[in-house]
Amino acid sequence: MIAVKENAEYQVGFEVSQAVGQLQGLKNEIENGGSISKADIISRLDDILNKLSKIHSMMTEK
């Protein structure tokens, strides 16, 4: 049972770090005047929201 909990905690940490990295990358690209399209921004935000939703689901599992 402990191994499952540790694996879930690792997975949550991994998903959080990916979401943070994606947000930082998107912020940097926008700040630096990159030629990023509205569709690309929305796609990236959708991916981040999916990761956050997955994290929420993992944290509320019993």
pLDDT of 60:
83
Alpha helices in the chain (DSSP H): 2-31, 38-60
pLDDT single digits (tens) 3-54: 556 787 888 889 999 999 999 999 999 999 878 899 999 999 999 999 999 8
Query: CB of 21 within 8 A of CB of 47?
Result: no
